[in-house]
Amino acid sequence: MSLPSITVVTPCLNALATLSETIESVRSQRYPDVEHLVIDGGSVDGTLDLLEAAEDVRFISEPDRGLSDAVNKGIARARGEVIGWLNADDVYLPGALAKVGQAMARRPDALWATGRCRIEDGHGREIRSLVSAYKNLFVRRYRYELLLTQNFVSCPATFVRRAGFDRVGLLDERFRYSMDYDLWLRLGRLGDPVVIDEALAAFRMAEGSLSMTGFERQFAEHARNAREHGDGHAPAVLVNRLLSRGIVATYRGIRLGRSFTRRSTTS
């Protein structure tokens, strides 16, 4: 079985604190044909020194119009048959690329593949395990109608064939937060992904880092994505809108509760 070549695209900007671990997670895969392409937006924190010293990394550094533009630059320059998008603070788990390559080799007709993803804090400790379990449950039961109700596909654990981008296009720069969900829905209309029921990557996040404005805009974009790609699936689109509003309301309540607790503690 001939394994496909893989390109990993990593967009970054002033990522010195985390990028070396991301690079090492790709290098240590020992996949037979992998290219790691880093698209830097003009870092000034020492990131470029790190990239110049890194082995097995190809990079460019120039201004961009944001995350989607940076990833699109990487996709356009990618040499691999299969392309993964790994942000500069996320990591692949051991053996991830081999699992992806083997799955895609067994299904040469499939345009994309996705697997499970952990959520970790900045120290590599798993957090929000219930959220991960919830998303993984839906990934294992993937249907397009289900995907229209919510985005349960994790970006670091998802890979797209070059042929997939040729058919649906690149990331849509209209979206600041949900460009990945928009892409999954475009691919999903053409066919189901290969579901790899194993953990492939870890998404790193700092607790409390997401602003309320960003969170609300993210789910407003999710609802718009579902509307734009949900022709013939009105019930799923409605569920997406209701879920998006409910999640934002829940998050707002959690933030208010934390704020009240802090005020009570300090008073």
Q: Which of 126-140, 212-226, 245-259 has the highest mean pLDDT?
A: 126-140
Cβ 130 vs Cβ 108: under 8 Å: no
Write out pLDDT tens, residues 151-172: 999 999 999 999 999 999 999 9
Instruction: For residue 21, name the pLDDT band (cuts at 50, 70, 90).
Output: very high
With a cut of 50, say whether residue 210 has pLDDT above it.
Answer: no
Spatial distance between the Cα atoms of 51 and 203, rounded to a whole number of angstroms = 21
With a cut of 70, say whether residue 176 has pLDDT above it.
Answer: yes
Give percent of the chain above pLDDT 70: 93
With a cut of 90, say whether residue 143 has pLDDT above it.
Answer: yes
With a cut of 80, say whether residue 251 has pLDDT above it.
Answer: no
pTM of the model: 0.92
Cβ 198 vs Cβ 83: under 8 Å: no
Average confidence (pLDDT) over 71-82: 98
